[in-house]
Structure formats: structure tokens, C-alpha cells
């Protein structure tokens, strides 16, 4: 249960902190379209996915914002959850008693 709570909080905080850090830097990279695109991909990937599918089901900005936030929380939260799961399994295997000597 603790792992789930940490992953949900991390799934919200990771894109939020990324936006806070990269947001003020974007006016300085407007001349380079590649850097501007790479700066927006980690947070705006749900919009890019909709553009690739040629579907835009949201007519209002709050609906689109809710979609972006929920997709980011699900993606980054599951990523954090599986990293925590892998780290906990690695710790469990290292707790095995030493092999008996014959």
C-alpha cells in the first residue's frame, strides 16, 4: 500500500517538477525546434499521441488538462511502481542465507 501511495505521489510530482524546471528555460530554446520539441515530449506526450491518431475528443481546456495530468500520473506512477517493485525483489533475493559448506 505504501508503494502504491509513493508511486501515485511520484507520478504527479515528477512531471510537475519537470514542468517547473523546463518551463522557464523554453524561451531560450525557441530558435531550435528540435530542443523545443524534446523539452515538451516528457509532459505533453498524450497530446502528441492524439495528434498521431488524428483524434481530438476534447473541446474544452479543462478536459484536455485533466487528460494530460491523468495520463502522466498513470504512466510515471506505474514506472515508479515497477522500479520500486524491482528494487524490493532485488533486496529479497540478497537476504538469502549463505550456502552450506560441504
In the predicted structure, residue 95 carries a pLDDT above the cut 70: no
Long-range contacts of 13-21 (CB under 8 A, 24+ apart): 14/76, 14/80, 15/42, 15/43, 15/72, 15/73, 15/76, 18/42, 18/43, 19/43
With a cut of 60, say whether residue 94 has pLDDT above it. Answer: no
Ranges of each domain in the chain: 2-85
**The dihedral of CA 56, 62, 65, 69: what is its sign?**
negative
pTM of the model: 0.78
Model confidence pLDDT, tens digit, residues 24-79: 888 888 788 888 888 889 998 998 888 888 887 878 888 889 999 999 999 999 99
pLDDT digits (tens, 9 = 90+) for 3-28: 899 999 999 999 999 999 988 888 88
Helices (H), ranges, 1-102: 2-22, 33-53, 61-94
pLDDT at 54: 85
Amino acid at each position: 500500500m505504501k508503494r502504491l501511495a509513493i508511486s501515485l505521489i511520484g507520478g504527479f510530482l515528477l512531471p510537475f517538477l519537470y514542468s517547473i524546471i523546463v518551463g522557464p528555460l523554453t524561451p531560450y530554446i525557441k530558435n531550435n525546434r528540435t530542443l523545443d520539441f524534446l523539452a515538451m515530449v516528457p509532459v505533453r506526450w498524450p497530446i502528441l499521441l492524439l495528434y498521431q491518431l488524428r483524434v481530438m475528443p476534447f473541446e474544452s481546456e479543462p478536459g484536455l488538462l485533466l487528460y494530460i495530468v491523468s495520463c502522466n500520473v498513470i504512466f510515471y506512477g506505474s514506472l515508479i511502481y515497477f522500479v520500486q517493485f524491482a528494487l524490493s525483489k532485488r533486496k529479497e533475493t540478497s537476504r538469502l542465507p549463505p550456502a552450506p559448506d560441504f
